Chains A and B, each alone.
Chain A
Amino acid sequence: MIELKNITKKFGKQTAVKNLNLKVEKGNITMFIGPSGCGKTTTLKMINRLIEPTSGDILVQGKSVVDMEAVKLRRSIGYVIQEVGLFPHFSVFDNIAVVPRLLEWEESRIEERVEELLHLVTLDSSYAQKYPLQLSGGEQQRVGLARALAADPEVLLMDEPFGAIDPINRLKLHDSFLEIQEEIKKTIIFVTHDINEAVKLGDKIAIMSEGNLVQYDDVEEILQNPKNEFVENLLGRDRSLKALTLEKTKNFVTQDDYLIISPNDDQQSLRQKIKKSQFEQAFILDENGRLIGRKILEVKKGNEELIHDHNPVVVDRNNNLIEALSTMLESGEHQLPVVNSKGKFTGVINLSSIFAEVSEAETKKEVKGA
């Protein structure tokens, strides 16, 4: 899909990128990571020719980028930068419409596309007329992503897009980013300096240091077999724990271990229903399958009481197991409902299934060590 061949970039006497060879596969998220000054951003910018390589060649979909007109090339590649770079004097609509307008699409087609993209990044269509300064950092980032996707490019370049977002919102953005990628399946190159981000989002990771490619592999492979000390240090001491972050909640969702009720059931029949089942709680879904609350049957002084919880703790289906585990420990529950980014209920995850995975991972390690 994207192929870097013997790429070298010199700035004056300094060599930023040294003879880099790399093939990025179609539909993958490839993370470029390394300390600052390692050449990751320079490499990214050479792909859409914001920086011209000193020597070597870059092929995108089999065509050399050097042969293409720079402006046309960039219109065919999505680009998201740190702190978004939304144009403050353009409304959200106009920001998303930048590339379609450069490509001279018809206005009606642009309107449809903007609507579609706002929906994709889970923003209400009323956002179209707002201005960037009226949005939160996370919302701006979603608009930035929508803008990059506007002309439906095959390739997306992202330069530390979530760098300026606070940690809590960054986690949320990660989840919805993965969910969006499931839908659009673009070839994405993503620059980051955060190893957790790289492990969570990446299919493959390219680790760079001082202009060299140190290791380029699947995430699992890198976690299990770091090539050298540099990679080991980058991964940190908790790399066996990090391996758990590769496991997504959605793969551990159970479908047969819970009770669903509708908001219209009356109290009496609810009590009966819950009592009859062996469960202590029941989840309430609205007509669209969205989780809107739960009922808990509690025994207090011999009396059974049905408690209503308006705002149950949930796990996002794209959360990894570490995140799901920490949510469980914080809330003191051993079973949590799993939802997608639109709040739709998809099942539950049990503490026991996470523990099962932990012990399995331990066994694997021991076998390997022995």
Chain B
Amino acid sequence: MNYWEFLQVYQDKIVLEVFRHLQIILISLPFSVLLSVPLGFYISSRPKAAKIVIYLASILMTVPSLALFGIMVVLLAPLNLGLGKTPAVLAITLYSLLPITRNTHTALNQVSPRMIEAAKGLGMSSSQILWKIKIPLSIPVIMAGVRNALVLGVSVATFASLVGAGGLGYFIFSGISRSNLRMVTTGAIIVSVVGIGVNYLLLLLEDSLTPQGLKNNS
């Protein structure tokens, strides 16, 4: 069986697992954004809280991904949610916390105090300053954090197949247990391609969300 035939045999399975892989990431995304962005906003004006939150999130990042999936399974087992998408989504959401929270925090703090003073001096209220000045100026950096988190998510989601949620990890882990190098490399390559593709799509989104005047080529 040459590689071409191999791909044909596995065609349907590949499509299915790519779909499941993306599904896990796309379900985690709103959770991580809805959790991290407000958290980033909250800590942006509270330096002490910011230190603690970013420290905790950093610790979370140092937990090996495989172990984090294992912990989720154990923690969720009493709720009968130990296997399937739930532990996978939860683990990826936790992993996304740091990049998005940190970038939101940085983004809001990089808006120059002079700019804010100008806005205040012209008679904008605090909420007008937030919505009209701070947020639009922060979007590129926040989006970069979301992109980081998502690309990270694509690779971390390979472990999802170990907790019964499927995804491209199937090829890698089945390949390893069957000593099938072809399966492992195929899985790895597709994960990379998906990662690059997701990154590219998000760059497009980032570009369309970035206010015109902030783009270098303008």
Asked if A82 lies at the interface with its beta carbon under 8 angstroms from chain B, I say yes
Known: A50-B120, A72-B123, A74-B120. A87 touches B115 (CB 8 A): yes
Asked if A307 lies at the interface with its beta carbon under 8 angstroms from chain B, I say no
A127 to chain B: which residues have CB within 8 Å?
A: none
Asked if A131 lies at the interface with its beta carbon under 8 angstroms from chain B, I say yes
Contact indicator per residue, chain A 89-100, by CB within 8 Å of chain B (1) or not (0)? 111000000110
A50, A76, A81, A88: the one within 8 Å of B214 (CB): A88
- Which chain B residue shows the least CB distance to A85? B118
Asked if A79 lies at the interface with its beta carbon under 8 angstroms from chain B, I say yes
Distance of A79 Cα from B122 Cα, bound (Å): 6
Known: A72-B123, A102-B123. A89 touches B213 (CB 8 A): yes
Distance of A75 Cα from B124 Cα, bound (Å): 8
Asked if A48 lies at the interface with its beta carbon under 8 angstroms from chain B, I say yes
Distance of A148 Cα from B137 Cα, bound (Å): 22
Asked if B211 lies at the interface with its beta carbon under 8 angstroms from chain A, I say yes
Known: A87-B115, A89-B136. A48 touches B213 (CB 8 A): no
Asked if B2 lies at the interface with its beta carbon under 8 angstroms from chain A, I say no
Distance of A73 Cα from B121 Cα, bound (Å): 9
Q: What's the minimum C-beta distance from A77 to chain B, rounded to whole angstroms?
A: 8
Q: How many residues of A contact B (CB 8 A)?
A: 30
Known: A50-B117, A85-B115, A88-B137. A99 touches B122 (CB 8 A): yes
Contact indicator per residue, chain A 318-343, by CB within 8 Å of chain B (1) or not (0)? 00000000000000000000000000
Whether B213 contacts A82 by the Cβ 8 Å rule is no
Whether A74 contacts B122 by the Cβ 8 Å rule is yes
- Which chain A residue shows the least CB distance to B118? A85
B118, B137, B218: the one within 8 Å of A81 (CB): B118
Whether A85 contacts B117 by the Cβ 8 Å rule is yes
Asked if A71 lies at the interface with its beta carbon under 8 angstroms from chain B, I say yes
Most chain B CB inside 10 Å of its own CB: which residue of A76, A79, A86, A99: A79
A48, A73, A85, A90: the one within 8 Å of B114 (CB): A85
Asked if B133 lies at the interface with its beta carbon under 8 angstroms from chain A, I say yes
Known: A82-B114, A131-B218, A133-B218. A89 touches B211 (CB 8 A): yes
- Which chain B residue shows the least CB distance to A102? B123
Known: A50-B117, A82-B114, A85-B117. A98 touches B122 (CB 8 A): yes
Contact indicator per residue, chain A 103-143, by CB within 8 Å of chain B (1) or not (0)? 00000000000000000000000000001111000000000
Asked if A179 lies at the interface with its beta carbon under 8 angstroms from chain B, I say no
Contact indicator per residue, chain B 206-218, by CB within 8 Å of chain A (1) or not (0)? 0000011110001
Whether B213 contacts A132 by the Cβ 8 Å rule is yes
Contact indicator per residue, chain B 162-198, by CB within 8 Å of chain A (1) or not (0)? 0000000000000000000000000000000000000
Whether A71 contacts B123 by the Cβ 8 Å rule is yes
Contact indicator per residue, chain B 121-143, by CB within 8 Å of chain A (1) or not (0)? 11111001000010011000000
Asked if B35 lies at the interface with its beta carbon under 8 angstroms from chain A, I say no
B133 to chain A: which residues have CB within 8 Å?
A: 87
Distance of A98 Cα from B132 Cα, bound (Å): 10
Distance of A79 Cα from B119 Cα, bound (Å): 10
Q: What's the minimum C-beta distance from A29 to chain B, rounded to whole angstroms?
A: 19
Distance of A134 Cα from B213 Cα, bound (Å): 9
Asked if A83 lies at the interface with its beta carbon under 8 angstroms from chain B, I say yes
A72, A89, A134, A147: the one within 8 Å of B137 (CB): A89
Distance of A79 Cα from B214 Cα, bound (Å): 24
Distance of A86 Cα from B124 Cα, bound (Å): 14
- Which chain B residue shows the least CB distance to A98? B122
Distance of A71 Cα from B126 Cα, bound (Å): 10
Known: A88-B213, A89-B211. A74 touches B123 (CB 8 A): yes
Known: A88-B137, A89-B212. A79 touches B121 (CB 8 A): yes
B114, B123, B125, B214: the one within 8 Å of A89 (CB): B214
Known: A87-B133, A89-B211, A89-B213. A79 touches B118 (CB 8 A): yes
Distance of A44 Cα from B214 Cα, bound (Å): 31
Distance of A74 Cα from B133 Cα, bound (Å): 17
Distance of A133 Cα from B128 Cα, bound (Å): 23
Whether B117 contacts A81 by the Cβ 8 Å rule is yes
A91, A102, A131: the one within 8 Å of B128 (CB): A102
Distance of A90 Cα from B117 Cα, bound (Å): 16
B122 to chain A: which residues have CB within 8 Å?
A: 74-75, 79, 98-99, 102, 147-148
Query: Would you list 30 pairs from A and B whose C-beta atoms are within 8 A, ordered by A residue?
Result: A71-B125, A72-B123, A74-B121, A75-B123, A76-B123, A79-B118, A81-B118, A81-B121, A82-B114, A83-B114, A85-B115, A87-B115, A87-B118, A87-B213, A88-B137, A88-B213, A88-B214, A89-B137, A89-B211, A90-B213, A91-B212, A99-B122, A102-B122, A102-B123, A102-B124, A102-B128, A131-B212, A131-B213, A133-B214, A147-B122
Nearest 6 CB-CB pairings of A with B: A85-B118, A89-B211, A75-B123, A131-B213, A74-B123, A79-B121
Binding site for B on A (CB under 8 A): 48, 50, 71-76, 79, 81-91, 98-99, 102, 131-134, 147-148, 157
Given contacts A81-B118, A85-B117, 5 further A-B contacts (CB under 8 A): A82-B114, A85-B118, A85-B119, A87-B133, A133-B214
